Amino acid sequence: MLAGILKKDKKGVLVQVDDQFKNWGVQVKANLQAHGKGLAKRIHFVPPQQYEDFLSLIMLADVMLDTPHFSGRNTNYEAFAFGTPVVTLPGAFMRGRVTQALYTKMGVADCIAETPEDYIRIAVELGTNKKKRATMKKKILSANDAFMKT
């Protein structure tokens, strides 16, 4: 899906906080390179961040990408606090459905993809369309108090 996003958004750049898994970045870059020339140059791995710097990354992001393989739990709450849209494709396991559950609680379904192609479409649209992104941010900010309700 990352390759699909980069192929459709010719100016798009992905930023990923480096992980504790050894060679994670090398593997991701190799996978992207296998999907198209130059794609691997458009993903940047940054070292683990101090909390304030991590929040700055979230605030500066046009869109965040949730994966069906990991849970974005705390990071989702942080993103929603800034109104940063998180695109998700619910996975087979609970850990891949956390973002969907949070959006459902907020009553916002715009960023929940049904297929990998839908995930790519939503991510590219939010990444390239300032008006759509601003509308989504406003929608998230107006609904994120759902987490404070009992």
Query: Once rounded to an integer, what is the mean pLDDT over residues 47-53?
Result: 93
Question: How buried is residue 5: exposed, middle or buried, by Cβ count under 10 Å (0-12/13-18/19+)?
Answer: buried
Residue ranges per structural domain of the chain:
1-48, 62-143
Tokens 């010719």: give the residue: 10
Percent of the chain with pLDDT over 70: 97
Higher per-residue pLDDT: 137 or 33: 137
Neighbours of 62 (CB within 10 A): 17
Give the CA distances from residue 47 to residues 71, 125, 135, 146, in Å, rounded to whole numbers and listed in that order.
20, 28, 31, 32
The pLDDT score that the predictor gives to residue 35 is 83
Name the CATH superfamily housing domain 62-143.
Answer: Glycogen Phosphorylase B; (3.40.50.2000)
Query: Once rounded to an integer, what is the mean pLDDT over residues 20-32?
Result: 77
Mean of the per-residue pLDDT values of the chain: 90
And the tokens for 83? 């109104």
Show Cβ contacts of residue 90 under 8 Å, excluding neighbours closer than 6 positions: 68, 96, 97, 99, 100, 112
Neighbours of 6 (CB within 10 A): 24
Whether residue 20 contacts residue 30, with contact meaning beta carbons closer than 8 Å, is answered with no
pLDDT band (50, 70, 90) for residue 20: low
And the tokens for 77? 């709450």
Q: What is the pLDDT of residues 53-90, one digit of tens each?
A: 999 999 999 999 998 777 778 899 999 999 999 999 99
